[in-house]
Amino acid sequence: MPFRRSSGILLHPTSLPGGFGIGDLGPSAFEFIDLLASAGQRLWQVLPLGPTGYGDSPYQCFSAFAGNPLLISLERLIEDGLLTESEARNQDVFQGGNVDFPAVIAHRRALWPRVLDRFEAGGGRPARDRFDRFCGTHAGWLDDFALFMAVKDAQGQAAWTAWEPDIAQRDPSAVARWSARCAREIRLHKLTQFLFFEQWQRVREACRARSIEIMGDLPIFVAHDSAAVWARRELFRLDSEGRPTVLAGVPPDYFSATGQLWGNPHYRWDVLGRTGYAWWIDRFQALLALVDRVRIDHFRGFEASWEVPGDAPTAVRGEWVKGPGASLFEAVQSALKTDRLPFVAENLGVITPEVEALRVRLGLPGMAILQFAFGNDPQARDFKPHNYPRNLVVYTGTHDNDTTVGWWTGGAGHSTRPDSEIKNEREHARRYLGLDGREVHWEFIRAALASVADTAIVPAQDLLGLGSDARMNQPGASSGNWRWRLVPGQLTPDTSRKLAVTTETYDRV
C-alpha cells in the first residue's frame, strides 16, 4: 500500500534560525511547523538526529540511539529556570549566519553543568520523576552512552581505541571504576538526553496537531568512534585492538573520482542474524518513537556493501560483499507488528537488479532526484518524471546535492565532466521543463509536485532559490559541511503562499 499523495520540505533542525548559534527545538521550530501547515505540506524531513562527531556530520554520530544535545532549546531552559538569559547569550558569535560548530559546542559544554546544578537543586518533583523514568526506560543504550561520553570527556575527546586499554576493552573493573569516578558527568549526559527527548516530543506533538508527519533518516552504518561500537564490539568487524578490519564507502561515482571512504566499520551480519537482528530491531524501534517515516540511507548496502581494506587511503580498492537482504527487514516487520514498513529506500548510486528486487519485495518506495534526470548516465531515464511509478519519493535535490540554482548556474558537482556534457545536460533540462527565462528552482518544484510520485520533497534551499553557498553537504569534503542555516524571516509568507498554490494545484494537500 503506497503512501498518500503529499509533499514536504527537507530542513534539518540545525538549519533553523535562532539567536544561539544553531537551529534548535525552540520557537523557530514551531514557527517552521506553522509555515509547513500554511503551505499545505504534510511532511517535514530531517537528517539523523544523533550527537554529531567527526566533521559535525549527522551521519557520523557518537550513538545510534541518542539525540543531539546541540538541538536543545536554550529559550526553553530559560523558561524552565535552568538557565539565565545572560548565560545563554554570552557569546557574540551567535548573531546569525552559518553554524560555527566549535563555538557552539564550547558554549554548550560550559552551560550543561549549570543546568544540571539547577535541575538537581530546584527541579520540580514531576520533572525529576520523568527523568528517573526516562533513565530506566532507556537504560539499554543510555547507560553505555553516558559512560562513553564521560570517559571521552576525561580522555580529551580521543577516540575510544586511544583510551587506557582496560576501559577501551570494557574490562568490568574498569567500567565500575570509571562509573564511580565520572558519576556526575554521567548524570549530566543523561540529563541532556532527557531534555532533548522531552523537547523533541513537544515538536512532534505540534506536527501531529497539524497533520504533519516527520520523516527521519537512518544511516546504515554507525561511526567507529561511538558508544554503539565500543559497547557492542562483537557486532562489528574489528581487530583485537578494536580497529576496523574493513571500512565502508562507495566506489568512484558522480560525486568523487576516488569514491567515498566513510571510515565506518562493517557489521558481522552472521552474529547479528543469530540474535534475530535484535540490535537492529531496537534501533528501528527507537527511531520510530521519534518520527513517523524513515529514510534508510544507503539501502543498497543491505543487499551488498562496498568493503575497503582497513588501511586503504581511498575507496577505489574494494569489493561488494553480500548483506542480510530481506531477512533483516522481515525480522523488523515482525517485531513492529505491521503490514507495511514505513520506510523509504535511498536507492541511489550503483543499483543492481538484486537491490531493486529487494526493494520491490519489501514494498518500499525508492527515490528519484530531478537533478540527475538530464545527463547521459543510463540511470537518468529513471529520474525523468514521465517514467515515475507512484510508489516513489521525488526530490528536486538532496542534502548531498548542490542547490538547484547552484546546479543550474555553476560548476559545483560537475567539475569532473567536460563542459560540453554539462551544456548538453542543461539544454536537455531546458527543453524538458520548457524553461524560458523562468526561475529554474520553481520549475523543478512544479515538475516534482506535478509528477505521479506519491511523495515530493523540496529542500528549503530550493524553495528559496539559493545558490551553491547554501549547499548543506559536499560528499568527499572533510570540512565545511552541515553549516548552512536560515536567517530570521527568510521563509516569507509570500513563499509559503506560492508553495501552497502549487501544492493544491497538483492535489497534494
What are the two backbone dihedrals, phi and then psi, of residue 247, each rounded to the nearest 5 degrees? -115, 155
Specify whether 346 is catalytic. Answer: yes
Query: Taking a C-beta distance cutoff of 8 angstroms, is the pair 456, 449 a contact?
Result: yes
Q: Of the residues 185, 303, 400, 402, which is catalytic?
A: 400
CA 65 from chain center: how many Å? Answer: 12
CA 398 to the chain's CA centroid:
11
Pairwise CA distance, residues 318 & 313, whole Å: 11
**What CA–CA distances, in Å, run from 86 to 90, 104, 108, 116?**
6, 16, 14, 17
Catalytic residue, chosen from 24, 75, 303, 346, is: 346
Is position 297 annotated as part of the catalytic site?
yes
How many C-beta atoms surround the C-beta of residue 411 within 10 A? 13
The phi and psi torsions of 153 (rounded to 5 degrees) equal -60, -45
Spatial contact of 396 and 7, defined as CB atoms under 8 Å apart = no
Contacts of 63 (CB under 8 A, 6+ apart): 50, 51, 141, 145, 148, 226, 227, 228
* All three cell numbers of 243: 580497529
Q: How far apart are CA 328 and CA 89, in angstroms?
A: 47
Active site residue 100: no
Q: Out of 56, 213, 297, 382, pick the active-site residue.
A: 297
Which residue's C-alpha cell is 558519576? Answer: 183
**Could you write out the DSSP letters of every residue in 69-126?**
GGGS-HHHHHHTTSS-HHHHT--TT-SSSS--HHHHHHHHHHHHHHHHHHHHHH--HH
And the C-alpha cell for 285? 524501534
- Signed CA dihedral, 303, 309, 314, 316: sign only: negative
Burial status of residue 153 (CB atoms within 10 A of its CB: 0-12, 13-18, 19 or more): middle
C-alpha cell at 212: 504533519
Q: Which residues are catalytic?
A: 297, 346, 400
